[in-house]
Chains A and B, each alone.
Chain A
Amino acid sequence: MSSSLKGLPQLLRSSVGTPGKARNEPNDVKIVQYLFNKLKAVVQHDIDEDGIVSAGLIRTISQFQTIHLKFHHPDGVIDPDGKSFKGLIAAAVKLPPQVSVNPFSLTRPLSSASVNLLHARVDNYLSKARCTAASEVIKQQAIMLPGITGATSLTEYDYQQAYETLNRKIDINIIKAFSIVESGGRTGFNEMNLPKIAFEGHWFRKLTKMKYDYTHPSLSYRYKKKAQAEWQKNNSDQRSSWNALKAAYALDANAAIQAASWGMFQTMGFNYTMCGYKSIEHFLCDMKASAGKHLEAFLIFCQKNVALNDAMVNKDFYGMAYHYNGSDFGNYDQQMKRMYESLNRGHA
């Protein structure tokens, strides 16, 4: 809910509650009183909407903080952008929208016009908060929606497209041999019809500036060694990886996508600009789309590495394996050479 209040106009101008800790502007007090009256089922009693802080109102705020927000040290204060205010709004938006009738505003017609105006303002705010929260839910769920638009394994057409994308500078069989070996035979998509991913919490930590280290230690953790316990738990299978991504996405969508490796070539999301994308959303869309898009992004990315690109142009298998994988490339150079020769003979 806290993130969903972003973008909404300020409802309270100053804090309400315990005197000495809060400014208690009458209009702000009335707003809080009205909000609690909307939550009558929760607070169990009516509150006079008079704009004056009473012992009863402070007690109501404190009880709400203790019982509903689980505060260990309730202070009886609602700050304009604090946890108590967000909690109050979160509780209020869960109620079905209704025309509020407050007995006190009827019995005290003195300021009924201004009270009604204030009610309208609060109701309008809650309506917007409800819409924002709904959009947020849709956005959160959207990450898990498949988006396949083409073949999930590479086709001859994909290789031809890649050949053209690379301006015909690299032999098409080099593209094929390199792609086949570097993808390790992976299809790039999982049983949920989503691209295969791995979630890298140590990069999520850096991308979010360690903001979630304490609140979400399984998603945001310091690097200790490759595939450490948190990594293993997050990536025990594809469902786990996607659940980790979904949880991280709820905290920071952009950082979450960047902190995962994607598709056939396990391209890190933080390289989306290097893969030719202007936005992370475009990258995500293409990673969900097809194996052909995985190949295209991967090859554009590879072109950015001068030594790797030269090795591909010059059919230097050692250079291709070394510059993409680093020194521990096993026998990838030999595998690529054999694959290339086999493709040239018309096999494979």
Chain B
Amino acid sequence: MSLFKVFDVAGGAMNAQSVRMNVTASNLANAGSVSGDPEKVYRARQPVFSSFNESMAKQTGVAGVRLDGVVESAAPLLQIYQPDNPEADVDGNVYATNVNTVEEMVNMMSASRSYKNNVEMINTTKDLLLQTLSLGR
């Protein structure tokens, strides 16, 4: 019964979106962090999604979502002159993280909307299946 596959597909997508939400939370939590060593500064992380079973999708019409991994942003760090900061290096500079707060807020909204869409999809499909079960009663 092909309706059952919807649960797998939507479940996978919800998992991917919740990872995205976690990564966003981690980015926002570290948005204010600075360090004297550019190597040790927190860098913004982004999850990478890819389509699962893309080659099979032509036959079955089903393509789930898979999380390929989490990559660190290569955006430049902000160098701030703060000689009285205990973290400052010999030149009196600290490096701020490259997390973009506005971008992360938008990411969070987008992830939560996508998650809700998948929940709705599961609810609708569940209703359809339940109605099918009571057919002819």
Tell me if chain B binds chain A. Answer: no
